Amino acid sequence: MSGFLWNFASFVVALGILVAVHEFGHFWVARRCGVKVHKFSIGFGKSIWSRTDKQGTEYTIALIPLGGFVKMLDGRVDELTDEQKNQAFDHKPLWKRSAIVAAGPMFNFLFAIIAYWLVLMIGVPSVKPVIGDLVPNSIAEQAGIERSMELTSIDGIKTPDWQSVNMQLISHIGLDQMSVTYAPIDNYGLERQTTLDIRQWQFDPEKESAIRTIGIVPYRPEIISTVSQVIEGGAAEAAGVQVGDQIIGLNEQPMTEWEAIAETIRNNPSTAMPIDIIRDGNPITLTLTPNARVIEEQTIGYVGIMPTSEPWPENYRFDMQFGPFAAIGEAVNKSYQLVDLTLSMLKKLVVGHVGIENLSGPISIAKGAGATADYGLVHFLMFLALISVNLGIINLLPLPVLDGGHLLFFAIEAVIRRPVPEKVQEVGYRIGGALLLALMTVAIFNDFMRL
């Protein structure tokens, strides 16, 4: 229950920030264009806080935190006096109306740049993308990529960490080939390049890792079977396992590889089995009965212990951090890559390279908000940047009821030199609303299927 409340609170904070940014864009440009703003609302429904400024604009935070709006003086819905006409949205020149509508998405993109700028100044703990192993007969192995190499770029885009590698791989879904550059770690003068044939590469982004399915296993420090943590109240504590114990056997089989130990535990829920350990140089045998846990309709065992991991080599880890001015260029580049990736995924969704089951709705966003908030401010800001870019792009889609639909009507008006008839606009709004509702229904259904 606490996890749900944390996710919900994080979701409300994230959505509130992004909606405020989007609506402030409309509001700020409207004010600059001389349009009177009646109301600036974050959320819908009953107001829980409000104040009115000297210009008569009411600022409101409403009960339902699922959006917001800016209500402007408009002759299509308001009775106007002659004096008010020059303050009405619909009486402004076409370029001003277009600027006001486009300002919402543009502010979302600007927010992403600012968020990344802050992240890059604070610094992001990162790991160099060093290849630990290759999956036999995989696309990467067949292309001749070597183990213990650092991936430096994909199709000319630098990949300083695994997140960058993952983004570039995902952007290549549905393409025929991909150019990968790699080098011995910290020896970039010896870079090599190869081309991967990805015509047969298929995977589900919701369930599988792009890095793993291409055949690359990231380097990880060796995990040894010495216990580093025992969870209070778990099966391991009940069996008498202690921190510092070295596991040498399980279920009457010699066993020191952590993957084998973990797999044996998962495959034996509620089954008593001997566990052989070395404690203070002395061999001891205990009886371990893994608890049972149901995950995705499968019952697995768990005992509540953590292994010991060897330390990372110093030259494999770094802080991605820049000064205030250098961070601006990097933030713009990161935001551009997010925009490019999002547009690419939308295109792949339309042509069928990505299934509609990959659409995510508010539940998935809430989980993402809660998870990134758990990791701290830097990760939460990166999440906000991602969602802000997505929000900006979605609002620019040429669907009536969205900002992009309004801009489409304005473009038609520029061509025919008169406003699009209101009846045509009304039909467009109904069609756009129906399509948007259908997409939201699919996204929410996908969210429930992932629970």
- Domain presence at residue 71: yes
Where among 276, 296, 320 does a domain terminate? 320
Task: Please give the Cα distance from 234 to 289 (Å, whole number).
Answer: 10
Between 23 and 7, name the one with better pLDDT.
23
CATH number assigned to the domain comprising residue 172: 2.30.42.10
**Total of domains in the chain:** 3
Where among 310, 328, 356 does a domain terminate? 310
pLDDT for 106 beyond 60? yes
Q: Which two tokens stand for residue 265?
A: 């535990």
For residues 275 and 305, is the Cβ–Cβ distance under 8 A?
no
**Residue 95's pLDDT band (cuts 50, 70, 90):** very high
- Domain presence at residue 33: yes
Report helix, strand or coil for 34: coil
**Same domain? 131 vs 190:** yes
β-bridge mates for residue 184, sequence order: 149
pTM of the model: 0.82
β-bridge mates for residue 51, sequence order: 59
Q: What is the pLDDT of residue 335?
A: 93
Tell me the per-residue pLDDT of 149-184, one tens digit each, with 9 for 90 and over: 999 999 989 999 998 998 899 888 888 899 999 999
Domain membership of residue 115 as a residue range: 2-123+385-396
- Domain presence at residue 196: yes
**Same domain? 82 vs 48:** yes
- Report, as residue numbers or ranges, the catalytic residues: 23
Q: What is the pLDDT of residue 1?
A: 44
Helix axes of 362-375 and 377-395: crossing angle, nearest 10 degrees: 150
Tell me the per-residue pLDDT of 353-366, one tens digit each, with 9 for 90 and over: 666 666 666 666 66
Question: What's at 222, amino acid-wise?
Answer: E
Tell me the per-residue pLDDT of 51-76, one tens digit each, with 9 for 90 and over: 999 999 999 998 887 788 999 999 88
Average pLDDT, the chain: 88
